[in-house]
Structure 1
Amino acid sequence: MDTIPLHIAKKNEFSNSSRLLLLQSLVPVATNLVSSQLEAFASRLTQALFKVSDQNVRPDEAANSFQTYQLLKRNHTSFYRIVASQINAALAKEVSVVNTRKKFKEAGEAQDISLVTFEEMENKVLTTNLAKALEVNNADHLVALNIRIGHVLRRTPISVSQNPFRPEVFISAFLQAWQEFDSNKESQHLVLRLLQPEIFLQLANVYQGLNEAFIERGVLVDIDEAKRESKKRGRFSRREDLESTDPYLENKLRNIFSPKPGHVRPELAHDMQEQGMSASPFGASGAEMVTIDRQFFDYLTSLQRQQQAASQSGQGIYLRQLSQQANSSELTHIDQNTIELLARIFDYVFNDPSIPSDIKALIGQLQIPTLKVALMDKDFFFKDSHPARVLIDTLAKSSVLLGSEATPEDPLYQMIEGVVERVQQEFDQQIDLFSDVVADLEAFLKEEEQQAEEAISEPVALALKQEKMRLAREFAENDVAIRVETGEVAGFLEDFLRNQWIRILTIAHNVKEEKPNALENALRTMDDLIWSLKPKNSSEERKELVSKLPAMLTLLNAWLNAIKWDEPDRVLFFSKLAERHAAIARAPLELSPRRQLEIAVNIAQRASEKRLNRHVLDQGDQAPDEWLQLVDELERGVWVDFTNSTDVTTRFKLAWVSPKRTRYIFTSRLGHDSFSISSDELITQFRHGDAVLISASSIVDRALVEALRDPPA
């Protein structure tokens, strides 16, 4: 039978061998960076050992520490050599398997520990804790390294557990080196207990050097943009989270795309044996080496050119009809499974309520081109970065921007229509075409986004002022609270501070950058006012009160005039203030010990009650709230459906979030009808169902998981 061998060479993509060679070239870079700091590392470890031996009260442990200290001090050259050798070997081994799609076990995975000694368990915990601490300390460098390695491997940014240069590898290599350096198990456990991030190898220098080495080798990635894209692609971390949804996802895919015994075409198997190749799509050349029937491929091309897919009303059924129309002898079970699996994916897309029906019809026209891609390149199912897969995802996400009121006159609708038409007309075997149209569509969306940002410049400026004022109010409330909580503030004065002086402090905090003296003046006036109402038990204190009162009252009135407090309550407040000052002046100078005790107990009781009340309020604020967490995690670009009081639902994009996340600005796609909402109001809307977040996760990812719940036979 006539077949077409397809060895897909994708533009700007590393081959398997070049990926491995590039990563292998980084092993000596890392080893040299480690070697350059081994002397300093040994010095830190030596000092730590000596400190333990000098301070330990247990003689046996002190002796062991001192012996280990002496061993390391006298044999530092051997120590350098062994550690460098073990790290080089460990990194080389990790790099050799990094491209085999190996699924790494998480550190917390359940293991049988029935035969594990306590010491071994403790060593495992210590190792894990050190690795996690190093990951946290080097998070920025590791994220950049993950992104660059993922770029080389043509995957989304890999996780730390898949990084061949992760901290765990350096720790394990060092422990292996120490076993070779000193076979005493007690010293091994001692050294592991001493290892802390400040003592261990300074991996920040290593990771910085590796990132620079990638750049020198031409691996140029916009790290900030890659981080943003990773967030935009959904709340999933994509492949890893999909595997947690269905941990056997990849195995299921491999099973349905593996040839059954006796189902490989004889002439194909013979040709492949002569070339030393495996008759499996996962052989020496991976999923890039496949063969399909020429007659069936030409039949698909003819359907594509006729654009018959666009006229089909039952889009999902149409793909299945292809396998029924073709001669069963022409299609292998892999071909049939490919068609069935892709049909299920399109079924899922067509059933998604967030995609307008007109856009579904346009996406439906991509069924034949996508099927041709999937038959040629099974990476479509395995790689979420596959160009054809990214196109479907991008079209689905773009349709969210249109909402249910999409019209053919909308520029975005016309852009989507043009993308689909270009793929229909131009696609044959060049998968790079999908990358090109995705780039065009993303550039169009970015231009629209820039226009929207210009349109909301005024609402953003207003929201910033509102947030600044809200934060100033919070600072003012705290200034008053810490003084009231002492229990020494009279009841009428506490009411005054909470209702009026907070307004003054809010203004002072709001203008402190331009007028720092205003805040200092307002705080000093408040403190003087509180001091003036405390008992004065000496003639000197009373003289000081009399001398301070005129200036204090002048400042007090000036501030109250600034906030225009002219109600009758102001007259009543100053009347009580004058009465209290007069009472303080007339009170006996010396109080009996019993009276002093009563006053002190009363103050302490009031202070305790106020602190307790504030603690209860703080605990209430900190109570777990799924809606608060949802709003706090919202990122710019997400879409939310808002339903108003007349049950009309409108879709808006989150266009801006204030620096302190107290205000959010939503807008239509082009920046029209924008509105600002506080975080508290937004939480309430989500809680009551008046706001609903539109899913941002990859529709193909979700469709694939659903399609494989019951895999094709």
Structure 2
Amino acid sequence: MAGHASPGGIIDQARLFFAEQFVKDTQALLDAATESAAKLVELTAERAVAQARRDMFQDIQRHAGAWPAQLGEDLRERVSAGDSLSSTATALVSSLAVRVDLSLVDDETVDRDIIMSRLSLALQDITTWEYTDLRARLAKISQRQDVDETDVFKAQNIARLLVKSWMAVGLSLKTWQALEQDMHKACGQRLLEAYHETNAWLVERGVLPEVDLRPFIRRAEGHSSGRPQLDIPADGGGGPTGMSTSVGPYGTQAGSPYATGTYGGAYSPQATGTFDPVQGQGYRGAPAIPPGQTAAAQRGSAAAGRLPNLDDETRMLTRPAPAHWGEPSPVGAHFSAMMERHLPGFKDTSSPRAPSQRLAQAMEQVQARVAHQVELPSSDTHSDPSPSALLRNIRERHADLKQAASSPAERATIELVALLFQAILTEDRLPASLRVWFARLQMPTLRVAIAEPDFFSSEEHPARRLIDRMGACVMGFEGDADVIGSPLETEIRRVVQVVEAFPDTGRRVFQTVLNEFEKFLEAYFRDHNDTTRFAVSLAEQVEQRETLAIQYTIELRKMLSDVPVQDGVRDFLFHIWADVLATSAVRHGAQSEEVRRVRGAATELLWTAGAKTTREERAEVIRRLPPLLATLRQGMTSAGLSTQRQDESLKSLNLALAAAFGARAVSISDEQLDALKRRLETIEELLPDEDFELDESWVLDEASHEQEGLEVVSDGGSLPGPQMLEMAERLQPGESFHLDYRGRQERVRLVWQGMSKQLTLFNGANGRCVLFQKARLAAFLQAGLLIPAQEESLTTAATRSAISKINADPARLLG
């Protein structure tokens, strides 16, 4: 029982038990790394990429075998150092934390920091509720509010150990990055089980069998609805026992697979919850996070701060996403089954096929006839380049093509391609002026379909993707001169002519022109009118500003990691002033006078926050404080913070400054201030390089951007799963959707995506531009509030039509 041993003794035993549980099956981590690397090797890729993956796999086979043992040794050594919940400086800090020197940080250190932060965030996301219970039990024993930041129980410290041991056995950070997604899952599962077993161990010793939720629930100040607000600290703990939905870095992940609260011997699955943390206040003003985590982790953790209004969210949570959305189309499977019945072996692609000589000549004649009919001048009375005339022309020569075929497979392919293009050329939603160019793709498509029968069943075939992308950009916009303008029509014409010019290259030429067409679409829909150009420019500034804010926060944390600064001042610099720095750099340039003024205010604030022990120092503070506060207020205004938010931030900051004025704060030496000043003056040179990317943990602060001319989607939708997040990444410029937002239903088009597709901009017919962050975009897809205008792609719909006709008359395949 808990009463039979000292609190420190029980915690030390729990820490040792936790470490043993974590390392008892680390072989699973090695297996996950090996399997993930093997899967990458099997994927088709360019020669250089494929070779790099093979080298990585061999590297894992040579070195990774020592990783589990090294990890176990490091963890046991860490625990044997004898840290306790009350310690604030331990061996972990000296051995694992990034050392801050007055020098440029090398790329490997930056990469390591980012990898550790992402892993830490993933571990917290997976283990939120188990850690919450463990935190509550440890707090009960120690009578402390929280676990110490350097304690081995903390997910960020486990993350550091995992990466440190990985590098110690000779494995590279690039290898980890390549396997990152699978490693996050494997490490998270291992930590989840270790937390669970440790909770059960503590319960067996009488430590808090039932976790009380009430200490974690508080009322949100100033909130009109008076709804309760969940007090979740930035480390991911503090959630309610028994709630199933995990508060992830973007509020989307499913929760712990184990029920928590009362512990027995078995795990029990949890049900789906209704938590929507993306509606929180954003990262600014959130609780502080431990040194070593990135600002991305801070933003993600702080997003989990508010329970939703259940009345407002009920419709979102109960309205299912369209059944087909995000799921593979069954049409390909139906086609394969049908062809196997009617023509066994049709899909065999073990050896390349080419059209027989007679068929190739017949196809060239048909192609020449179609091209001639399209390109005749309109004044020619014999010319009728309408879709129906082209279709009639091809039908007239359909029998000739079949007669020229040398095998049943060729005749079947001719029939199938004819049925596909019959459906495409009679699709009323395609503008008639463009259908004639689709008609000219029939013979090139027939050639590639003969060589590769999987064209019919694989939606990823480049010939199908090209037709689908061309259709998606123009479908349903008949007569819309702003969309179907001469640049887009000219590009479609060029694409078709390139395919015609290289009839023997088949798949390769389709893939090449598809890549070129995608690049064209990115620029075309971004720049095709003044409204979208302006909106895209704003969205790019938002992205640049948010990226810089994260980078500034990372560097500020490094600068202040060894400097005695009040928590209120730290929070202000990390959560508020980093964003002010970013805003100033985007608007005025990184080396502008405005940025220098903002950097100088940070130095001035640090000086003011040091203990003032003499009358002269206090008089100097009184003299310098008013202009400093005015500069801080002006900076927050430029960053878009509301007056209320500014007042709250300055109120919290004043408490820290009052402690310094009363000599209750720790002194900052002149040498430390000079060093900080020098680093702040060159902070832009220390930021992560241009390869730095936003990850899915950051949270867009919509309140700061609405005034800039963008409508930022800040609420609505339902909790998306991994499938919907993946679908959000697969959306492409030019695709059209029906959007239901704030009581308005309208058709919108995707016109821009940011780096890593974390931001997506849509433009409506009325010129309104709407900006989504990926998590919110996935939430709208999940709830059916953003529905694709096309229920299925052009070629999928055509294949469905062909299946119906073949099943009705199978003889036409060989006739």
TM-score normalised by the shorter chain: which range applies? 0.3 to 0.5
- Structure with the higher fraction of residues in helix conformation: 1
TM-score, normalised via structure 1 length: 0.41
Larger Rg: 1
Instruction: Give the TM-score taking structure 2 as reference length.
Output: 0.37
